[in-house]
Structure 1
């Protein structure tokens, strides 16, 4: 089956307004795109001046659309409290009528996004925090009682209602084994750092060794200038077009969106 097409939007500068992002999502749905995913950052270096909150943008997208899948891509769970993320995710799942997808990963401290604020920045520690956070998050979303007392997170006698079915896509760089194993336990793998479509053969083979669940998604992203044709029917279930991060011009972005997939 052919891959589905979506947009991977940095809510920066000209798009650092959740209302504008919501308008853009409505245009995307009208143009035939099937997904609208928003970068989750608090800062992005000197070349980006303004940044919008991804979760507020997701709420705007949910309210302005009826069919698009949507979600933050990706949220670094190690810098978040999993019980707060669980509440937010369940609420966005309800607001979107089941169209919310939660992208999660380690994140990157390349511009001081973690260390500038005193957050953990060691990738090895963040990986352990991510794994433990996923355990707490998924348990809370299930609606069942949760008792967890771990190295990084605690949930004592917690039970969150309503329960929510929220697909989890894990991000990882091509060639790294740990993200493949982690992603295969959930609902999708957003793989970055691919050199070309042929790399997807290795990705799908590596995933198959971990027996992912039926309907598992493999997600890739391309620039606006990349030809998506060679990537379609090559093992990816989603091919996203990246909008941003730098020198965003609202009129140019609208032309890309209005052109459709």
Structure 2
């Protein structure tokens, strides 16, 4: 199992310089990845929130080995061609270390969609997500993209440069037991069942993905656990990545730094 730091970019962690130093510390302490939340704002008392893409740029420059990425980005609130340029540029800057975590997002956490005029209908956001992923994978291929969809248009455009490895890994997030996110994730490179409560749920998720794909070769199953939680039962159930799950309600820079310095629980 591989281990990653996963942090909300809130308050004391809303400064890209601070986060880049944390990432450098994580690399030195033996972590395998460094992922960040993608939020526009959050519930009080949190007030300061940083942009994930600019922060990840600082992280890419400060590190050499860590796999990095947003975990997860709500794709439906982003323009596909803009996201295509951002992901490719960040992948080139990090020399092929970017993983793109994707999902629908949710309005119930902070009203990010309803309060910004974005789409609140889950089904519509799912349609947009699927279209965007089609555009991204086509654009990363280096071939000319002709996409005339329900929500997006890309009319005979070729995107260069390409990602370092020719494409960027995509991990799809979803709530356990929801079949559509599992099917979406199974078409790509990883599945992140969020809000897990047991290793039995991990095993169920693994079985569901395996049923869709036929094989889990080269596929990641990603879980999030609080710091110091024993990940071994989840690894036995089939998880391949474990993300540290910091509670945003009591997030403190000193606490995050201490967890990072201690290194991953293996």
Is TM more than 0.5 here? yes
> How far off its partner does 1:190 sit?
0.9
Query: What is the CA–CA distance in structure 1 between the aligned matches of 2:68 and 2:107, rounded to whole Å?
Result: 25
Query: What is the CA–CA distance in structure 2 between the aligned matches of 1:243 and 1:194, rounded to whole Å?
Result: 14
Greater mean alpha carbon deviation, residues 169-178 or residues 245-254: 245-254
Counterpart secondary structure, 1:43? coil
- Is the counterpart of residue 10 in structure 1 residue 8 in structure 2? yes
Q: Deviations over 1:151-195 (max 9, x none)?
A: 111100111011222101110110100000000000111111222
C-alpha root-mean-square deviation of aligned residues, in Å? 1.2
- Is the counterpart of residue 129 in structure 1 residue 128 in structure 2? yes
TM-score (norm 2): 0.94
Query: What is the CA–CA distance in structure 1 between the aligned matches of 2:247 and 2:60, rounded to whole Å?
Result: 21
2:63 corresponds to which residue? 65
Alpha-carbon spacing, 1:213–1:162, altered in 2? closer, same or farther (3 Å) = farther
Alignment of 1:212-223 (within 5 A): 214-223=217-226
Counterpart secondary structure, 1:103? strand
> How far off its partner does 1:41 sit?
0.5
Counterpart secondary structure, 2:112? coil
User: Which of the residues 206, 209, 227 maps onto 2:208?
Assistant: 206
Contact 1:24 1:254 in 2 (8 A): yes
Q: Deviations over 1:59-80 (max 9, x none)?
A: 1111111110000011111000
2:101 corresponds to which residue? 103
2:170 corresponds to which residue? 168
Query: What is the CA–CA distance in structure 1 between the aligned matches of 2:134 and 2:124, rounded to whole Å?
Result: 16
> How far off its partner does 1:233 sit?
3.0
Counterpart secondary structure, 2:245? strand
2:192 corresponds to which residue? 190
Alignment of 1:70-109 (within 5 A): 70-109=68-107
User: Which of the residues 224, 235, 240 maps onto 2:238?
Assistant: 235
> How far off its partner does 1:14 sit?
0.8
Structure 1 residue ranges (4+ consecutive) displaced by more than 6 angstroms after TM superposition: none
Q: Structure 2: 5+ residue runs without aligned partners?
A: none
TM-score (norm 1): 0.96
- Is the counterpart of residue 248 in structure 1 residue 251 in structure 2? yes
